[in-house]
């Protein structure tokens, strides 16, 4: 698999996690979700989840199993977020390592091909999911409305490097499929 293919998301939402619907999961034949936490579900350092996120998670959980898999080292923070959403979780995942993603897919009793890795980062979330053969979904990061500066320098660098490698990240092309990338 080429470097470009490893960084190419299968689906680019062009919006936040809230734009992901049960109908989309059905349309893509997905039976499970693995979600990143920091900036995918909540702004970095935020310890609580919004009512909107709780409602979204309940709606999605009714359609498919969900696991949280985060690189964050704070067991208590990630555990509290997972508990608020009534979801199982893994912290300290070391993505782009595939080990914890495989563990979550096995816990859902699903083949990795039927599970989507959803996150806001190319070099951790998308790369890990693609390395394992999962369907990958790139979302826009959750932003703390109280933070004046909305800069994401690491994410911006990842996007810039990926585009140099030829990865297509246009939000108006939401259904780039791995089999089309050769």
> Mean pLDDT throughout 95-124?
97
| Gap between the Cα atoms of 100 and 108, Å rounded | 12
Residue 181 lies in a domain: no
Does the pLDDT value for residue 129 go beyond 50? yes
Domain assignment present for 179: no
Whichever domain contains 151, its CATH number is 3.40.50.1000
Give domain status of residue 64, yes or no: yes
Count structural domains, the chain: 1
Split at pLDDT 50, 70, 90, the class of 174 is: very low
Q: In whole angstroms, what is the distance from residue 176 CA to residue 182 CA?
A: 12
The pLDDT of residue 175 is above 90: no
- Counting residues of the chain whose pLDDT is more than 90, the rounded percentage is 73
Burial class (CB in 10 A: 0-12, 13-18, 19+), 30: buried
Contact indicator for 75, 91 with CB cutoff of 8 Å: yes
Question: What is the arithmetic mean of pLDDT over 154-169?
Answer: 82
124 near 101, Cβ under 8 Å?
Answer: no
Confirm whether 177 is domain-assigned. no
Segment 155-182 mean pLDDT: 66
Indicate if the pLDDT at residue 166 is higher than 90.
no
Domain contains 147: yes
In a domain, 53, yes or no: yes
Quick check: 176 and 12 in contact, CB under 8 A?
yes
Question: Packing angle between helix 75-85 and helix 51-63, nearest 10 degrees?
Answer: 70
For residue 13, how far is the Cα from the chain centroid? 11
- 109 within some domain: yes
DSSP, res 142: P
Q: What is the mean pLDDT of residues 156-161?
A: 82
pLDDT of residue 83: 97
Range of the domain at 80: 3-171
Per-residue pLDDT, averaged over 23-34, amounts to 97
pLDDT of residue 150: 59
Question: What pLDDT is recorded for position 40?
Answer: 96
Query: Residue 176: is its pLDDT beyond 60?
Result: no
In a domain, 176, yes or no: no
Greater model confidence, 166 or 70: 70
Contacts of 165 (CB under 8 A, 6+ apart): 3, 4, 7
Q: For 21, left (φ over 0), alpha (ψ -120 to 50), or beta? A: beta
**Region 121-143: what's the mean pLDDT?**
95
């Amino acid at each position: 698999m080429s470097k470009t293919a490893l960084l190419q998301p299968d689906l680019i939402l062009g919006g936040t996690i809230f734009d992901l619907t049960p109908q989309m999961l059905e349309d893509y034949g997905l039976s499970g979700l693995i979600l990143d936490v920091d900036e995918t579900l909540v702004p970095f350092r935020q310890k609580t989840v919004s009512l909107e996120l709780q409602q979204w998670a309940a709606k999605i959980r009714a359609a498919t199993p969900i696991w949280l898999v985060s690189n964050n080292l704070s067991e208590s923070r990630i555990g509290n977020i997972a508990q608020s959403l009534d979801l199982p979780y893994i912290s300290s995942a070391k993505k782009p390592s595939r080990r914890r993603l495989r563990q979550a897919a096995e816990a859902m009793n699903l083949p990795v091909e039927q599970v989507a890795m959803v996150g806001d980062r190319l070099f951790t979330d998308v790369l890990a999911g693609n390395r394992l053969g999962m369907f990958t979904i790139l979302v826009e990061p959750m932003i703390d409305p109280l933070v004046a500066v909305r800069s994401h320098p690491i994410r911006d660098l990842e996007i810039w490097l990926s585009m140099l490698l030829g990865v297509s990240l246009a939000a108006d092309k939401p259904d780039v499929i791995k089999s089309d990338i050769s």
